[in-house]
Homo-oligomer: A and B are copies of this chain.
Amino acid sequence: MGKLVIVGTVAFDEIESPFGKTDKILGGAATFIGLAASQFEVDSVIVSIVGDDLPQAYLDLLADKNINLDGLEIVQGGKTFYWKGKYHNDLNSRDTLVTELNTLADFNPIVPENYKNSDVVMLGNLHPSVQLSVIEQMAVRPKLIVLDTMNFWMDNALPELIEVIKHIDVITINDEEARQLTGEYSLVAAAAKIQQMGPTYVVIKKGEHGALLFHKEHVFFAPALPLEEVFDPTGAGDTFAGGFTGFLAATNDMSFENMKRAIIHGSALASFCVERFGTERMQHLKKEEVHKRLHQFKALTQFDIELH
């Protein structure tokens, strides 16, 4: 069974959308990544930090999905990272209302000994120095290192971000961030520039407009499934990343052809995530439901034009 290291936040989220609002609920990049990856036959570990205010039920929920929590530091008397955000009517933009780093401010990630030979490392959105520290702890160079990041680190820790990017294989980034990082408006040009910075694969996420995978002269596109209702986009990008890396770790095939499949699996899982608030939809997602949705992705994209 492939091993997957997941680094990222385990957090309290509080969300307002046009469809309602939540109390403090379970969130965080590592949480969404882990839940998505748990759809595959993979031995994954979460490396993160929380306070002892995080309900045991949340930890049980992750453990019940066979996600190893040996890398999750619980700070006694500490408080868990907390984010509160409000989505606008179109759900494509949001305001951050509250960010409390709490225990995350002093996060020193520790990869458990047993996972230092993992096949795949998924570096969720965090300070690039924290991401680099995880890479440096690996005893064997993983077959695949995937990094997610955001504009906040381009604004506030660009040198560190550029450093960690040198050491990775795949970056996942949204379209605006790809433009910011490279100064190129064309996503084709931006992806080419990013490949010169380190990663040989560039995934550009376009939200409801799908995702592009660039590798040398190749490009692959996965649409987002058109949905009647999007409830809460929180965690969709992390769920995509979790599906992508979970599939690759489980299949142990890092070829471009298999990455296409991984992108489709990631997109399919992300399409569930947004149907409910927070992790609600992902907690009880059944294999049959995923299978049916993969059929929908095939119907959505496949055509038969005979070319010789």
Chain A positions near chain B (C-beta within 8 angstroms): 89-90, 185-189, 206, 209-210, 212, 218-221, 223, 226-230, 257, 260-261, 264-265, 291, 294-295, 298-305, 307
CB distance from A98 to the nearest CB of B (A): 27
Q: Are A307 and B303 in contact (CB under 8 A)?
A: no
CB distance from A91 to the nearest CB of B (A): 9
Docked CA distance A209–B295 (Å): 22
Docked CA distance A210–B220 (Å): 14
Known: A294-B305, A307-B295. A226 touches B261 (CB 8 A): no
Q: Are B298 and A305 in contact (CB under 8 A)?
A: yes
Which residues of chain B are near A219, meaning CB under 8 Å?
226, 299-300
CB distance from A74 to the nearest CB of B (A): 39
5 new A-B contacts, CB < 8 A, other than A186-B228, A218-B299, A257-B304, are A90-B185, A219-B300, A220-B300, A257-B303, A261-B305
Known: A261-B305, A294-B305, A307-B294. A221 touches B300 (CB 8 A): yes
Q: Are A264 and B305 in contact (CB under 8 A)?
A: yes
A-B contact list, 23 entries, CB within 8 Å: A90-B185, A186-B228, A187-B226, A188-B226, A188-B227, A188-B228, A209-B210, A210-B210, A218-B299, A219-B300, A220-B299, A221-B301, A223-B223, A257-B303, A260-B303, A261-B303, A261-B304, A265-B305, A291-B307, A295-B307, A298-B305, A301-B302, A302-B302
Q: Are B301 and A301 in contact (CB under 8 A)?
A: yes
Q: Are A186 and B229 in contact (CB under 8 A)?
A: yes
Docked CA distance A186–B291 (Å): 24
Closest 3 CB pairs of A and B: A209-B209, A260-B303, A221-B223
Which residues of chain B are near A301, meaning CB under 8 Å?
220-221, 301-303
CB distance from A296 to the nearest CB of B (A): 8
Q: Are A212 and B188 in contact (CB under 8 A)?
A: no
Which residues of chain B are near A89, meaning CB under 8 Å?
185
Which residues of chain B are near A260, meaning CB under 8 Å?
303
Docked CA distance A187–B300 (Å): 15
Which residue of B229, B261, B294, B307 is within 8 Å of A298 (Cβ)?
B307
Which residues of chain B are near A302, meaning CB under 8 Å?
301-302
Q: Which residue in chain B gives the minimum CB-CB distance to A230?
A: B186
